[in-house]
Chain A
Amino acid sequence: MTDFIQPESFAFDDESLKAIDTIVKRYPPGKQASAVIPLLYVVQKQMQRQTGSAWVPNKGMDAVGERLGMPAIRVYEVATFYFMFNMKPIGKYHLQVCGTTPCWLRGSDDVARACRDAGHLSGYGQTSEDGVFTMTEVECLGGCVNAPILQVDDDYYEDMDYDSTVKLLEALRRGERPAPGSVIGRQTSAPVGGPQTLTDVAGE
């Protein structure tokens, strides 16, 4: 998907407007520009609701600039700086594979390979031909204890390996949303096999 069409116009819908009111109120008067990042998320979410693809079009950035009283270019600068904002349309599900050291040591290469195989993706930054999946490589997601992580849209799927990734993608393709969290049944970030007390450390 190298060519895509920027929408002619963008207007916040009621849900977005409500969210914006809450967000902007968090900042002191005159410092509204600070709300630019949360508002860009609002735009991205609204695009997902309306088109099924979570991305930020140029007109959306213009709308943010206008709402916050800042020049459009300042919004473009912020939006293009952070990779959380997709500057072009993506697939229905955004597969974000963490490739940073802890995840990589625990097998993120397998997760990425599973995404390519099951999602019919040629590589990072690509969208599958059916428009269901887009795969990107992201930096540390901060879930190293349960590495490797695969983030789908806003949900973390943890302790992934090749097979569980394929299963997850197949479920997503069917329209299901498996419960996020550890796929091996780990409770939060407790040790594999269940919580243990300090007095019960294995090997003592």
Chain B
Amino acid sequence: MAKVTVDGIEVEVPNGVSVLQACEAAGKEIPRFCYHERLSVAGNCRMCLVEVEKAPKPIASCAYPVADGMKVFTDSPMVRNGRRGVMEFLLINHPLDCPICDQGGECDLQDQAVAFGKDASRYREEKRAVKDKYLGPLVKTIMNRCIQCTRCVRFATEVAGVPELGATNRGENMEIGTYVEKALTTELSGNLIDICPVGALTSRPYAFVSRPWELRKTDSIDVLDATGTNIRIDARSGEVLRIMPRTNDDVNEEWMADRGRFAFDGLKRRRLDRPWIRKGGKLVPASWMEAFTAIAEGFRGKKLGAVVGDLVDAEATVALRDLMAALGSTNLECRVDDAAIDASRRDFYTFNTGIAGIEEADALLIIGSNPRIESPVINARIRKRVVAGSFPIGFIGPRGLDLTYGHDWLGEGGATLAALAGGSHRFNEVLRAAKRPMLILGRGALTRGDGAAVLAAAWQIAAQNNMLQADWHGFNLLHQFGGQVAPLDLGFTTGIPADVQGLWLLGAEPGGVPEGAFVVYQGHHGEAGAARADVILPGAAYTEKDATWVNTEGRVQRGRLAVYPPGEAREDWKIIRAASELLGARLPYDSLDGVRARLAEVSPAFAGAEFTPHGCTDQTGPAGDVAAVSDAAFTPSVANYWQADVISRASATMAECARTYLPQAAE
């Protein structure tokens, strides 16, 4: 530890930290552009100058290590003068176009120019002009505004793992870009917009849409992948205008995947905004009352079942469960992709290591999953661990995938998995030598015919290779959507019998609905489910309700209502509660608190406990015969990252991305 005095305040900081961090520990704000906590130190903007006693010149605090007994001044005349000079230089080539700049109002350069800069510039020469670059359909560039902090270059190289951005030419002619024009091949490109301290990289879909002070900000949770990314929904007059990540070091740090960030325009298109009833083979608009009455008639005396989709909140799920119970049905299902998930124990279907736990692991086996596509943010965490060093990764799945980090391709499919389960594979040695090995099993790998066997084999690998310890749980199932874990917690795994006569589809696609069955579809987008339905009930999307979500870790998080559902659509649990009245099976709760109390009653997971890393005390595996694993290869579970769910399929932005990145799939 080193004792440092910052403006007379004495702080003790670990050896090796930078002067800037010491100043922050003392509560002093240091202006900066190129320095970013989660990126390497570049030290090229010079904005963080401070004075150190006995040093003849101001020093760049971000790149200067502390020394014991150092005396730092952050507000001396030398510092103020230095910062003013640096700011004047930074503004030499920066255009004065703040009134038409999308960064205006939330711009580091604007703020710091006011706080630390001068009121005028002495520069009378010509400004340079830089051609705008094309970086893809999501990131808009206005390169005149670039101050060459190189945060984007470092983000792309270090965090996203796609070294495609660079600084070409030199001196006055230096430009940031890809040099050979191309769209950045990353699913994390939206983060470039966040880390750019000026208006050089802005959001293309959000261009000229709004000013930050006009927006109402609501904290919520992203459900378009299973990461459970903490988000902030910015809305104005009932319309979601943008979604940004919130910092949560245990989940998403401060990153966010592109689909979650940009697919929200799908919430404004192809929505179900009123109830519909099928009359004489055709769907006709109806009132809520008529719809509920039609359900009551359609369901009367029938054998019922309920299916929950991938984007459904826990409140609606438990309400549907209770409604079905009241109607005498225990036929519940949520595994619409036929994944052979064993829900008898929670650690069979969650990401037990925890996302932050990846950083503690020292070996990884990935089975039938492409984390880059299934959860870009978790993939960034794996990459972070890889960059830290000595992290062998074995991969079973398609050969030659670019996961943004090197991996040891072990084989394509079941044969390799069986060899590992048998303990005779060369990678077994690596896993046994590790102290905290982990494996990630893709949910997609369980959708095959031998899914139960794959699950059992993966568990056996975990059990036999030191992954299940009293204080370490290395077995992880990676889900694909934010609504996939909650219904598993709530017992939606009893299955739908083939002779079911009435089905309630809550945001679920109607795979295998029997002919002649009476189908109620409740959801927010009218896809195949709505087309097959006899009654359609318009529900709320994740931005439109106070709801509880469970991510792939099993972490229970709350999202909040940012805008009201469109038209006559309502929050889903309320719809079910209202329907229960007319179905003669009145549910006993009529407030959100009531539903949540019921949630906690049904599953202890919802009782308010925080997610904590846990060990494994019971090594007994899930049901399934390891020997039944077939030799078939694991296929990519998400073929089209950009259009993987109903919301992103309705999104014009995502369609544009698919056209750019997957030209063959968009045709």
A residues lining the B interface (CB < 8 Å): 58, 71-74, 76-77, 80-81
* B151-174 near A? 1/0 per residue, CB < 8 Å: 000000100000111111110000
Q: If the complex has contacts A81-B169, A81-B170, are A76 and B179 also in contact, measured as CB distance less than 8 A?
A: yes
Write 28 A-B pairs (CB below 8 A) sorted by A numbering: A58-B179, A58-B180, A71-B157, A71-B163, A71-B164, A72-B180, A73-B163, A73-B164, A73-B165, A73-B166, A73-B178, A73-B179, A74-B163, A74-B166, A76-B166, A76-B168, A76-B179, A76-B180, A77-B166, A77-B167, A77-B168, A80-B168, A80-B169, A80-B170, A80-B179, A81-B168, A81-B169, A81-B170
Can you name the residue of chain A whose Cβ is closest to the Cβ of B167?
A77
Across the interface, which residues of B come within 8 angstroms of A72, CB to CB?
Answer: 180
The distance from the CB of A130 to the nearest CB of chain B, in whole angstroms, is: 29
Question: What secondary structure prevails in chain B residues at the interface with A?
Answer: loop
Across the interface, which residues of B come within 8 angstroms of A81, CB to CB?
Answer: 168-170
Query: In the complex the two chains form, what is the Cα distance from A76 to B153 in whole Å?
Result: 13
Query: In the complex the two chains form, what is the Cα distance from A76 to B167 in whole Å?
Result: 9
Query: In the complex the two chains form, what is the Cα distance from A195 to B179 in whole Å?
Result: 52
Across the interface, which residues of B come within 8 angstroms of A73, CB to CB?
Answer: 163-166, 178-179
Across the interface, which residues of B come within 8 angstroms of A77, CB to CB?
Answer: 166-168
Query: In the complex the two chains form, what is the Cα distance from A71 to B165 in whole Å?
Result: 10
* B415-449 near A? 1/0 per residue, CB < 8 Å: 00000000000000000000000000000000000
Taking residues whose C-beta sits less than 8 angstroms from the other chain, chain B's interface range is 10 to 19
Across the interface, which residues of B come within 8 angstroms of A80, CB to CB?
Answer: 168-170, 179
Query: In the complex the two chains form, what is the Cα distance from A36 to B168 in whole Å?
Result: 15
The distance from the CB of A171 to the nearest CB of chain B, in whole angstroms, is: 35
Query: In the complex the two chains form, what is the Cα distance from A81 to B163 in whole Å?
Result: 18
Can you name the residue of chain B whose Cβ is closest to the Cβ of A65?
B163
Query: In the complex the two chains form, what is the Cα distance from A76 to B157 in whole Å?
Result: 15
Across the interface, which residues of A come within 8 angstroms of B168, CB to CB?
Answer: 76-77, 80-81
Query: In the complex the two chains form, what is the Cα distance from A101 to B14 in whole Å?
Result: 50
Can you name the residue of chain A whose Cβ is closest to the Cβ of B157?
A71
Within 8 A of A (CB), among B125-166: 157, 163-166
Query: In the complex the two chains form, what is the Cα distance from A17 to B368 in whole Å?
Result: 40
**Residue from A71, A73, A74 with most neighbouring chain B CB atoms (10 Å):** A73
The distance from the CB of A134 to the nearest CB of chain B, in whole angstroms, is: 19
The distance from the CB of A202 to the nearest CB of chain B, in whole angstroms, is: 44
Query: In the complex the two chains form, what is the Cα distance from A73 to B133 in whole Å?
Result: 15
Query: In the complex the two chains form, what is the Cα distance from A74 to B167 in whole Å?
Result: 9
The distance from the CB of A127 to the nearest CB of chain B, in whole angstroms, is: 20
Across the interface, which residues of A come within 8 angstroms of B163, CB to CB?
Answer: 71, 73-74
The distance from the CB of B175 to the nearest CB of chain A, in whole angstroms, is: 9
Across the interface, which residues of A come within 8 angstroms of B180, CB to CB?
Answer: 58, 72, 76
Query: In the complex the two chains form, what is the Cα distance from A96 to B58 in whole Å?
Result: 40
Query: In the complex the two chains form, what is the Cα distance from A74 to B169 in whole Å?
Result: 12
The distance from the CB of B268 to the nearest CB of chain A, in whole angstroms, is: 37
Across the interface, which residues of B come within 8 angstroms of A58, CB to CB?
Answer: 179-180
Across the interface, which residues of A come within 8 angstroms of B169, CB to CB?
Answer: 80-81
Query: In the complex the two chains form, what is the Cα distance from A149 to B334 in whole Å?
Result: 80
Can you name the residue of chain A whose Cβ is closest to the Cβ of B165?
A73
Across the interface, which residues of B come within 8 angstroms of A76, CB to CB?
Answer: 166, 168, 179-180
**Residue from B157, B167, B178, B180 with most neighbouring chain A CB atoms (10 Å):** B180
Query: In the complex the two chains form, what is the Cα distance from A111 to B443 in whole Å?
Result: 73
The distance from the CB of B155 to the nearest CB of chain A, in whole angstroms, is: 14
Query: In the complex the two chains form, what is the Cα distance from A72 to B185 in whole Å?
Result: 14
The distance from the CB of B390 to the nearest CB of chain A, in whole angstroms, is: 15
Query: In the complex the two chains form, what is the Cα distance from A74 to B166 in whole Å?
Result: 7
Query: In the complex the two chains form, what is the Cα distance from A73 to B166 in whole Å?
Result: 6
Across the interface, which residues of B come within 8 angstroms of A74, CB to CB?
Answer: 163, 166
Query: In the complex the two chains form, what is the Cα distance from A80 to B176 in whole Å?
Result: 12
Query: In the complex the two chains form, what is the Cα distance from A58 to B178 in whole Å?
Result: 12
Query: In the complex the two chains form, what is the Cα distance from A72 to B164 in whole Å?
Result: 8
Query: In the complex the two chains form, what is the Cα distance from A133 to B516 in whole Å?
Result: 83
The distance from the CB of B425 to the nearest CB of chain A, in whole angstroms, is: 28
Can you name the residue of chain A whose Cβ is closest to the Cβ of B179?
A76
Query: In the complex the two chains form, what is the Cα distance from A81 to B179 in whole Å?
Result: 12
Can you name the residue of chain A whose Cβ is closest to the Cβ of B178?
A73
The distance from the CB of A59 to the nearest CB of chain B, in whole angstroms, is: 10
Can you name the residue of chain B whose Cβ is closest to the Cβ of A76?
B179
Query: In the complex the two chains form, what is the Cα distance from A81 to B173 in whole Å?
Result: 10
Across the interface, which residues of A come within 8 angstroms of B170, CB to CB?
Answer: 80-81
Query: In the complex the two chains form, what is the Cα distance from A76 to B180 in whole Å?
Result: 9
Within 8 A of A (CB), among B163-199: 163-170, 178-180
Can you name the residue of chain B whose Cβ is closest to the Cβ of A82?
B170
The distance from the CB of A16 to the nearest CB of chain B, in whole angstroms, is: 22
Can you name the residue of chain B whose Cβ is closest to the Cβ of A58?
B180
Query: In the complex the two chains form, what is the Cα distance from A58 to B179 in whole Å?
Result: 9
Can you name the residue of chain B whose Cβ is closest to the Cβ of A77?
B166
Query: In the complex the two chains form, what is the Cα distance from A92 to B163 in whole Å?
Result: 35
Query: In the complex the two chains form, what is the Cα distance from A76 to B178 in whole Å?
Result: 9
Across the interface, which residues of A come within 8 angstroms of B164, CB to CB?
Answer: 71, 73
Query: In the complex the two chains form, what is the Cα distance from A72 to B157 in whole Å?
Result: 12
Query: In the complex the two chains form, what is the Cα distance from A58 to B167 in whole Å?
Result: 16
Query: In the complex the two chains form, what is the Cα distance from A58 to B168 in whole Å?
Result: 13
